[in-house]
Amino acid sequence: MLKHTFIHAKNIGSGTEQKLWREGILTWENFIENLNSINLAGQKKNSIEEEINNSQVEIDNSNYIYFKNKFPKKEHWRLYSEFKDSCAFLDIETTGLMHHDKITVIGLYDGSKIKTYVYNKNLEDIKNELKKYRMLVTFNGTCFDLPFIKKIFPGINFNQIHLDMRYFLRRLGLSGGLKAIEDKMNIRRCEETKGLSGWDAVLLWRRYERGDEKALDLLVKYNNEDIVNLKKILDSAYPDVKERMLGT
């Protein structure tokens, strides 16, 4: 979607972008090819042309910070297609929602491999692992996961592009919790984790603390499904949102 985007050019808003799309100027390439015939003020044309040239250089340099700063947070989803090869789907489990509660499990999924970080085992390793990614995808991570991690590890600077699926999915009329959205999209969980909730995750950790190793195994499996399903949902929803935006 990045190369369909014009709103990151100086003084270009969504109205101008939508006008270009309606007139069949759907990509940067379309814009450059039709530069002389596009019905826009010269200043706006120059602004877009300059930004296209700059953006192409920054893509070649894999400069995700450039685009993160150029795009409003609600439009970070547009960057997924360009940076999905350096993207991690992230989800945490905790002992509760209060300030004194702790993180029990952090799961990361890069699209092929799952990495799990557990309290009192390897949780600290998440600090270096997060540095490897240019983009993070969460569900309600803006309000929960990222602030919670930041509280536990104040030295972590979340400078990645961040796509919060809770808000992105509203573009398709999908609201509610992750499990409810999975049901609406016919994404099924395994028998062991089917029906488990965030509160069950808290209880599983308590069982583990009392010596039940199988409870930790189930908690990790539950967390793994959260992050794997996040990718399934995004990969399904992304082209639909893109199609609606472009009117194609």
Cβ atoms 32, 49 nearer than 8 A: yes
- For residues 225 and 91, the answer to whether their CB atoms sit within 8 Å is no
Amino acid letter, residue 134: R
What's the confidence (pLDDT) of residue 111? 95
Quick: pLDDT tens for 124-177: 999 999 999 999 999 999 999 999 999 999 999 999 999 999 999 999 999 999
pLDDT in tens, 24-62: 999 999 999 999 999 899 899 999 999 999 999 999 999
Same domain? For 208 and 132 the reply is yes
Asked if residue 102 and residue 56 are part of one domain, the reply reads no
Question: Do 111 and 198 fall within a single domain?
Answer: yes
Report the domain count for the chain: 2
Q: CA triplet 170, 176, 178: central angle to 5 degrees? A: 100
What interhelical angle do 213-246 and 198-209 show, nearest 10? 160
- CA–chain centroid gap for 23, Å, is 30
Examine residue 70 and state whether it is found in any structural domain, yes or no: no
Residues 114 and 156 in one domain: yes
Q: Is residue 123 part of a domain?
A: yes
**107/160 same-domain check:** yes
Where in the sequence is the domain holding 194, given as residue range(s)? 82-244
